[in-house]
Amino acid sequence: MRRTLDFLLQHWLDIGELPARPRFSDHSLETFGSVLDACERIADEKFAPFNRVVDTEEPRIEGGKVVLPACAVEAARAYVDSGMLAAAQDHEMGGMQLPCTVEMAAQAFFSKAGIGLGGAGMLTAGNANLLRVHGTPMQKAVFAKQEFAGRWSGTMCLSEPQAGSSLSDITTRAEPDGEGHDADPLGPRYRLRGQKMWISNGDHELTENIVHLVLAKIPGPDGRLVPGTKGISLFIVPKKLVDTEARLTGERNDVALAGLNHKLGYRGIPNTLLNFGDGRFPVRADAGGGLDGRGAGAIGYRVGRPGEGLRCMFHMMNEARIAIGLGAAMIGYAGYEASLKYARERAQGRPVGPGGKDASQPPVRIVEHADVKRMLLAQKAYVEGGLALALYCARLVDEQHTGAPQAAREAVTLLEVLTPIAKSWPSQWCLEANSLAIQVHGGYGYTRDFPVEQYWRDNRLNMIHEGTHGIQALDLLGRKVVMDGGAGLALLTERMQSSLAAAARFPELQPHAQALAAAIEAVGDATRAAWASGEPDDALSNAMAYMQAFGHTVIAWVWLDLARVAVQQLQSGQGDADFLRGKLQAMRYFHAYELPLVAAWLGVVSGRDPVCREMRDEWF
Amino acid sequence: MRRTLDFLLQHWLDIGELPARPRFSDHSLETFGSVLDACERIADEKFAPFNRVVDTEEPRIEGGKVVLPACAVEAARAYVDSGMLAAAQDHEMGGMQLPCTVEMAAQAFFSKAGIGLGGAGMLTAGNANLLRVHGTPMQKAVFAKQEFAGRWSGTMCLSEPQAGSSLSDITTRAEPDGEGHDADPLGPRYRLRGQKMWISNGDHELTENIVHLVLAKIPGPDGRLVPGTKGISLFIVPKKLVDTEARLTGERNDVALAGLNHKLGYRGIPNTLLNFGDGRFPVRADAGGGLDGRGAGAIGYRVGRPGEGLRCMFHMMNEARIAIGLGAAMIGYAGYEASLKYARERAQGRPVGPGGKDASQPPVRIVEHADVKRMLLAQKAYVEGGLALALYCARLVDEQHTGAPQAAREAVTLLEVLTPIAKSWPSQWCLEANSLAIQVHGGYGYTRDFPVEQYWRDNRLNMIHEGTHGIQALDLLGRKVVMDGGAGLALLTERMQSSLAAAARFPELQPHAQALAAAIEAVGDATRAAWASGEPDDALSNAMAYMQAFGHTVIAWVWLDLARVAVQQLQSGQGDADFLRGKLQAMRYFHAYELPLVAAWLGVVSGRDPVCREMRDEWF
């Protein structure tokens, strides 16, 4: 994978140009390389060997505490020591001021070696990053800084048992915490009560403290919660209370572990149900404090203005979603590598010659069979394509923050429209890659003696969390391609067309450029046709088919652009010819076997097909 | 499901006509119905409640014996008591002389309720059925009869650790067992030595004895094994030796349990590695017997002629493969029912009206969201389509055995070409249905608190066992559509076209008939184009894409035919209108969302695309 990473980073995304920018001026291709080296090594040593262990030894509760296997504790420590939690942060926050592109590339090693071990760090970093942007200086100094240092860890508490995709229905309440609640140096102080579901890393003993970021509603003057998302605010709810010097006060907050979810995969990270403020751990009960006068209610400090909780949360959502996509691509990559290794070792069957098979000849390695090559090529196209898209998006994040004004604005626009694809496409297709990795192994792949069945289970989560597949599709067709008069789609189309022009200069790429041009046009036409009636229902009933087609078009574009770089290098005699031909062949595979699906998917979109929306419950 | 079964059996496959045939003359629609009633009840009571138990309490070895949970033992007993083992057999074999169509329909309940519990019976029945056709009268009376009665159980021992898809490479040897080996009343007696892998139900304590059917090679005069499949013979190897009265002699045969495979799913059936003849259980060591003169070597009785082992085995393969497809469809069905129930209960989100969403309204049940309806419709189209195809094939088996000569011959021809689809299509698409069932559940679907994640794991096996997906594709394009000058494809096309003509009489079905006609023509064209160069490699490199397209065309045909029956009933006022409209809508879904993929898949087939076969190991 390292060779592919270097190819993407240096020859496609040109990260060598970044150290010329003031923010990255301490860096060079060499320092970027050392970060990758270090992360690859730690992932190989502290993560990969224990990936199966965290699957088998699932988190469990003992004496009210979440117990993880020792290797998980060690991996978490190694991750903190790597400095990756704050890799992209300012020096003064304890960070390395790495570009997001390099940070994500480094993160890829951890995700590939053990998603269940590597995922928790990203949560903490995301939490701290949100506070860095939306918190007060004190909140940053107390909470974000400890998180970036790995002393405390972080969670995101959005969903509730009755409110998953529909956050407008959350019922966790936050009420001002008595007198002086407005004057707390840590932020306006509230008491929270409610249940939060699906909280990854919601309880554990890995760090001294846990910083929960919790969405809750502040009741109106009539004591009722405001319907819809507008009533949602954001709160810092530490598991253990702290002072302004980031010292534990010795008070346990009223946050209780209510249960662990037993998952199909992704088991390295405990997934919890948390009760906030149910009175199990009364806190500051003196003088009639708390919701019941006896200390019940989890103490939380508001972040940002009341009612702006979702806005703050969504500010960080793009990067979180790109990271999910990257993780999905990396689980896919792990399966690809495992099945390639197996296919190179396993002998079985013989090629069909003109006279049939010659059974007196020794069997060949299965990597020589056309259908096995198909399964490996498909995996390669999916996982390298997904990785490339994630890094492309990360590069846009760098552009957003450090590019020239025009470039930065364009990066924001492109990120809006690409994020649903960066999240959804690898979640779906790198899961398919994992299924192919099982298939390459035959019966062996169905056993726990090989790692591929676990990858497949682990990856199944990614179409569900951080916005389900269906939510991504609605986001894409319902919002991203129509906002600002369709500016995002227009700009992306422009970028794709300039890639086409570059590719068309090479005769062997011309037919591929033409096929892609047709797909791009079809997506544009379908977008207009979908919205032609102006009825959201007409368009959005087929949002999923639209997202399929859009995603495959984007990846076909990414592959064509990678192939163009490969051809350029081949012609100029740079690089390893075998490696570059592999990139070309993966593009050919994707264009021949996958790109034609785009037109097939778009039919129902363009026709605003009513089959799904007209279906009735009683007909099932 | 029962309503759909009745619709398929009575109104589509017209099983009411079968009791007019001599073999089924004791039966009537009523007796068929009671068999289905009984099986549904046993499956509901003895299988469904324990499906999760057999997943969690995996088979394990204790004191050299395979231990299963008590519920598995009880389920196996209930299955035997149901009489299903011999349901389709002659009265004199202890059977009910049920049509295969009804037998499969009844079997469907067990597969849906617990594939891991219901699968073992099918193995025993298949084993006994093979002996019924190829065994001597004594072998039938001793072995097949005890199996049909449920006193002994059966296995199929084909694969070896180094030989899975490539049976020509098996190395298990069978040598004549000393003097008088030709005169044993149970059949020519051999001593076998070798290892057999992936043996389902290979060892357990459920029955008094286990009858292994083992493929092995008889060495030539030079002591060497003949390369290729031609050297393969078939043997009965009982775990415990028996006499001609089917009594245990008290001698343990030299068959040793070498290990259990720990599987991703399908855990109700122990999957074993067996050592035949390694001397761990020396048998009949007197007078220097056995391969080493000390009793080593598993005693086996040859079935059929030397070298005809594979032919005997493949004789039964069609029905085994249809049964696999049926099982896959049923696991899909279980997920469909579970997710439909969940979607009807779970409230989440609101419809988008012209003014957006109204958060002050209560949330709706998710079955009202278009994308959830899409996921349910897709599942319905996959699982009912898969079930219909399996029963259609079963009906052909009945036609083969009890139809008029011309019809019987045609049934054989159609079965050849449909079997790879009946096996592969549900294995792939009903697995996809299971993934959609998880998706409908959101985060809950990813936990073990709901059954859908297990269904998904269980179903993943079906693309692997009884001939992998790739093997099915080679069988279809490399053999079935070209054998006898393409007679199978021609006859199937004829059948499909007569369905088109019938459908085209109804205006609302006309556009669908046209779309299907185009797909059928495209498949025919692609078949010719694939073989146009005459090079097997050219054609077969894209066998998988061909099978995808072929399968979807077949299912689109099945659905159109079902829709035609539904429209007829609706017009004549028969049946439940909601139920019938559901069938129509599932057809519309499949034709709008899935049928267009056929053309997209066929491109590489028609163009004999070389991308996969030209890929090189060193380019990966």
Q: List pLDDT tens digits, range A56-74.
A: 999 999 999 999 999 999 9
- Inter-chain touch A541–B370, beta carbons under 8 Å: yes
> In angstroms, how far is CA B540 from the centroid of its own chain?
24
Strand partners, A58: none
Report chain A residues whose CB lies below 8 A from the CB of B592. 603-604, 607, 609, 611
| Boundary-marking domain end, from A408, A443, A467 | A467
Residue A271 · residue A200 · CB < 8 Å: yes
* Three-point CA angle A474, A498, A495, nearest 5°: 25
Among residues B137, B122, B101, which one has the least CA distance to residue B18? Answer: B101
Average pLDDT (A18-33) is 97
Reading the block at residue B611, the tokens are: 């991308």
Chain A residues whose beta carbon lies within 8 Å of the beta carbon of residue B438: 264, 460, 464
Q: Give the 3-state secondary structure of A442-489.
A: HHHHHECCCCHHHHHHHHHHHHCCCCCHHHHHHHHHHHHCCHHHHHHH
Whole-number Å distance between alpha carbons of A403 and B553: 51
Q: Do B238 and B270 share a structural domain?
A: yes
Residue B53 pLDDT > 80: yes
- The answer to whether position A481 is within a domain reads yes
- % residues pLDDT > 70 (chain B): 99
Type and span of the H or E element at B194:
strand B189-200
| A120 occurs within a structural domain | yes
The DSSP code sequence of B76-127 is HHHHHHTTGGGTTS-GGGT-----HHHHHHHHHHHHHH-HHHHHHHHHHHHH
pLDDT, residue A448, reads 96
pLDDT at B200 over 80: yes
Interchain contact, A540 vs B370, CB within 8 Å: yes
Q: Do residues B370 and A186 lie in contact, with contact meaning Cβ atoms separated by under 8 Å?
A: no
pLDDT, residue A605, reads 98
Asked whether residue B412 falls in the same domain as residue B553, the answer is: no
Is the confidence metric ipTM above 0.95 for this complex? yes
Predicted confidence at residue A548, as pLDDT, reads 98
Chain A residue with Cα closest to B459:
A446
pLDDT of B489 > 90? The answer is yes
Helix axes A510-530, A483-503, angle to 10 degrees: 170
Q: Which amino acid is residue B594, in one-letter code?
A: E
**Residue B105: is its pLDDT beyond 70?**
yes
CATH of the domain at B115: 1.10.540.10
A12-36 burial string, b = 16+ CB within 10 Å, else e? bbebeebbeeebbeebeeeebeebb
Is a pLDDT exceeding 90 seen at residue A315? Answer: no
- Chain B residue with CA closest to A379: the answer is B620
Q: What is the DSSP string of B10-70?
A: IIIS-GGGGGGSGGGTT--HHHHHHHHHHHHHHIIIIIGGGHHHHHHS--EEETTEEE--H
B565 plus B426 within the same structural domain:
no
Does the residue B170 lie in any domain? yes
Collapsed DSSP state (helix, strand, coil) of residue A19: helix
Identity of the residue in B447, B456, B615 whose CB atom sits nearest the CB atom of A585: B615
Q: Are residues B334 and B431 in the same domain?
A: yes
Residue A580: C-alpha distances to residues A191, A322, B567, B620 (Å): 59, 26, 56, 10
Q: Quick check: A118 pLDDT over 70?
A: no
Q: Is B371 close to A543, i.e. CB distance below 8 A?
A: yes
Query: Is B618 part of any domain?
Result: no
- Give the C-alpha separation, B423 to B414, whole Å: 14
d(CA B375, CA B389): 21
Q: What is the CATH number of the domain that holds A445?
A: 1.20.140.10
Instruction: Please state the length of chain A.
Output: 620
Best to test chain A binding among B165, B546, B612, B614 (most A CBs inside 10 Å): B612
CA A467 to chain centroid, in Å, comes to 10
Residue-wise pLDDT tens digits, A535-578: 999 999 999 999 999 999 999 999 999 999 999 999 999 999 99
Compute the 3-state secondary structure of chain B and give helix, strand, coil in percent, each to the nearest 5.
60, 15, 25
Chain A positions touching B601 (Cβ under 8 A) are 596
Is A377 within the bounds of a domain? yes
Distance of CA B328 to the CA centre of its chain: 7
Using CB atoms, pick whichever of A227, A351, A619 lies closest to residue B360.
Answer: A227
Spatial neighbors of B122 by CB under 8 A, at least 6 apart, are: B107, B320, B323, B327
Average pLDDT over residues A330-356: 92
Number of domains in chain A: 4
What's the pLDDT at A169?
94
Do B300 and B216 meet the contact criterion of CB atoms below 8 Å apart? Answer: yes
Residue A343 has pLDDT above 70, yes or no: yes
Tens of pLDDT, residue by residue over B9-23, are: 999 999 999 999 999
CATH at residue A275: 2.40.110.20
Task: Looking at the structure, tell me whether residues A521 and A454 fall in a common domain.
Answer: no
CA distance A477 to A539: 8
Mean pLDDT of B300-319: 91
Per the domain annotation, does B221 fall within a domain? yes
- Residue A169: both structure tokens together: 């229905």
- Residues B56, B189 within the same domain: no
**Domain edge (last residue) among B101, B128, B147:** B147
DSSP label of A358: -
B492 contacts B571 by C-beta, under 8 angstroms: no
* Mean confidence (pLDDT) of chain B: 96
Tokens 């004829």 sit on residue: B494
Using a CB-CB distance cutoff of 8 angstroms, which residues of chain A are in contact with residue B357? 168, 228
Answer yes or no: is B160 within a domain. yes
| CB-CB neighbors (< 8 A) of B596 in chain A | 599-601, 603
Q: Are residues B403 and B542 in the same domain?
A: no
Residue A416, domain extent: 316-348+363-467
According to DSSP H, which parts of B463-535 are helical?
Answer: 469-475, 483-503, 510-530
- Annotated catalytic residue within B147, B319, B466, B594: B466
- SS3 letters for A547-609? HHHHHHHHHHHHHHHHHHHHHHHHHCCCCCHHHHHHHHHHHHHHHHHHCCHHHHHHHHHHCCC
Question: Could you tell me if A457 and A561 lie in one domain?
Answer: no
Copy the structure tokens of residue B232: 């393969």
Say whether pLDDT at B317 is over 90: no
Q: Which residue has the tokens 């007078």?
A: B287
Helix axis angle, B370-402 relative to B405-441, nearest 10°? 160
- What pLDDT score was predicted for residue A584? 98
**What phi and psi values does residue B506 have, to the nearest 5 degrees?**
-105, 115
pLDDT tens by residue, B284-300: 998 789 999 999 999 99
Structure tokens of B509? 């079905």
- For residue B620, the chain A residue with the least C-alpha distance is A582
Question: B83 is written with which tokens?
Answer: 């009489």
- Pair (B327, B300) in one structural domain: no
Same domain, A511 and A579: yes
Give B227: exposed, middle or buried? Use CB within 10 Å, 0-12, 13-18, 19+: middle
Q: Which residues pair with B214 in a beta bridge?
A: B157, B235
Query: Count of H helices and E strands in chain A?
Result: 21, 12
- Band of pLDDT at residue B118, cut at 50, 70 and 90: low
Please say whether the beta carbons of B118 and B95 come within 8 A. no
What value does the mean pLDDT take over residues B147-158? 96
CB contact under 8 A, B348 and A169: yes
pLDDT tens for A412-436 read: 999 999 999 999 999 999 999 999 9
pLDDT at residue number A356 = 74
Helical (H) or strand (E) element with A236: strand A232-238
Question: Inter-chain contact B348–A164, Cβ cutoff 8 Å?
Answer: yes
Whether residue B365 lies inside any domain: the answer is no
CA proximity to A216, closest of A287, A120, A299: A299
Q: If we measure between CA atoms, which residue out of B551, B408, B427, B414 comes closest to residue B480? A: B414
The whole-angstrom separation of Cα B305 and Cα B287 is: 28
Q: How far apart are CA A327 and CA A124, in angstroms?
A: 16
Write the CB contacts of B158 (distance below 8 Å, at least 6 apart in sequence).
B167, B170, B196, B215, B313
Q: Which residues contact B419 (CB under 8 A, 6 or more apart)?
A: B317, B318, B321, B322, B393, B480
Distance of CA A373 to the CA centre of its chain: 29
Write out pLDDT tens, residues B535-593: 999 999 999 999 999 999 999 999 999 999 999 999 999 999 999 999 999 999 999 99
Q: Which helix (H) or strand (E) holds A98?
A: none
Structural contact between residues B513 and B564, judged by C-beta atoms closer than 8 angstroms? no
Both B9 and B56 in one domain: the answer is yes
Q: How far apart are CA A454 and CA B456, in angstroms?
A: 13
Q: Domain boundary residue among B147, B164, B182?
A: B147
pLDDT at residue A21 is higher than 90? yes
Q: Looking at the structure, do residues A583 and A441 belong to the same domain, yes or no? A: no
Residue (of A59, A106, A261) closest to B449 by Cα position:
A261
Cα separation, B390 vs A296, in Å, equals 60
pLDDT band at B184 (very low <50, low <70, confident <90, very high): very high
| pLDDT at B116 (0 to 100) | 79
Indicate the pairing of strand B232-238 with strand B248-252.
unpaired
- How far from A427 is each of A151, A382, A414, B488, CA to CA, in Å? 31, 10, 20, 40
pLDDT score for B359: 83
Token look-up 């072998």 returns B139
Residue A50 one-letter amino acid: F
| Closest C-alpha among A555, A566, A551, A567 to residue A380 | A555
Q: pLDDT tens digits, residue range B419-477? A: 999 999 999 999 999 999 999 999 999 999 999 999 999 999 999 999 999 999 999 99
Check CB contact under 8 Å for A578 and B261. no
Among A169-178, A220-229, A350-359, A441-450, the least confident range: A350-359
